[in-house]
A and B are shown apart, each in its own frame.
Chain A
């Protein structure tokens, strides 16, 4: 098994997620792109756990998933309350703290 395939694949997936966060405007699509980046990081963790022959990387990926689930719950609650206040889910419309 050559680990580089997995690592290059994870780098590609992370790049897609990062580009998506910068390009898209809808807060929910931003969340999807953040999930892509977290999954790329998980893929590297699992690949490294295979490289080193221990299970620690897989356990860390497990914890990352739990934290990602908590993050999605809180983030969607925030998006909902922003939507309730400003009638929009676009991140460009919530700019009160910008200047």
Chain B
């Protein structure tokens, strides 16, 4: 077992433990903070895999932006800060689906690769990734920028009732 495998097992245990706490904790805010730990461990896994740019983008976008947005939403919906008992519904269908998808996916992946080792390829540094993104992936890149603009405008329109209401009034006239 190499050093990378030890790091993988440690970070994987942290990620799975924090993920399980996200799903089981009774505190909304703590669920968000456990999510930070889980996403950070996954960023560490990306580093172990040699995907440097993806790891730092993970830290910037997920840990930096998405979790902050989620915590803002928790605060804006005036969630109770203490434990909330009405967070869960019946667990048996979820257990069924979870067992099915987990065992199925794991069996599929393991049967596809059968515990054999592979050669480690070149790391995904920012320079190499940039070459590929602005080379063969430039069209999806442009489409994604249009998607982000649409999401920006959509969020403003959805969250400001005065804009939408005025529109509907004009249309009704």
Query: Which A residues contact B (CB, under 8 angstroms)?
Result: 1-20, 22-26, 28-29, 31-33, 35-36, 39, 42-44, 46-47, 49-56, 58-59, 61-63, 65-74, 76-81, 83-84, 89-90, 92
- Is A35 a contact of B39 with CB atoms below 8 Å? yes
In the complex formed, the residue of B with least CB distance to A23 is B94
Interface size of B in residues (CB-CB distance below 8 Å): 86
Q: A25-B86, A25-B89, A73-B69 are in contact. Are A39 and B132 (CB under 8 A)?
A: no
Contacts beyond the supplied A43-B45, A51-B113, A71-B151: 7 A-B pairs with Cβ under 8 Å? A4-B115, A36-B19, A65-B54, A69-B65, A69-B151, A80-B159, A81-B158
In the complex formed, the residue of B with least CB distance to A17 is B19
- Is B101 a contact of A14 with CB atoms below 8 Å? yes
Point out the residue from A1, A58, A90 that lies within 8 Å of B4, measured CB to CB. A1
Point out the residue from B5, B69, B118 that lies within 8 Å of A72, measured CB to CB. B69
- Is B98 a contact of A15 with CB atoms below 8 Å? yes
Q: A56-B132, A62-B57 are in contact. Are A33 and B109 (CB under 8 A)?
A: no
Q: Looking at chain B's contact residues, is the secondary structure mostly helix, strand, loop, or mixed?
A: helix
* A–B Cβ pairs within 8 angstroms, 16 of them: A2-B115, A2-B118, A5-B9, A7-B110, A7-B113, A9-B8, A9-B15, A50-B120, A54-B121, A58-B51, A58-B129, A61-B54, A62-B53, A70-B147, A76-B155, A90-B86
User: In the complex, which of the residues A12, A14, A55, A69 has the most CB atoms of chain B within 10 Å of its own CB atom?
Assistant: A55
Residue B106 lies at the interface, judged by CB distance under 8 Å to chain A? yes
Query: Which B residues contact A (CB, under 8 angstroms)?
Result: 2, 4-5, 8-9, 12, 15-16, 19-20, 22-23, 28, 31-32, 35, 38-39, 42, 45-46, 49-51, 53-54, 57-58, 61-62, 65-66, 69-70, 72-74, 76-77, 79, 84, 86-89, 91, 93-95, 97-98, 101-102, 105-106, 109-110, 112-122, 124, 128-129, 132-133, 137, 140, 144, 147-148, 150-152, 154-155, 158-159, 161
Residue numbers in A under 8 Å from B50 (CB-CB): 50
- Is B133 a contact of A59 with CB atoms below 8 Å? yes
Residue numbers in A under 8 Å from B62 (CB-CB): 35, 39, 65, 68
Residue numbers in B under 8 Å from A42 (CB-CB): 42, 54, 58
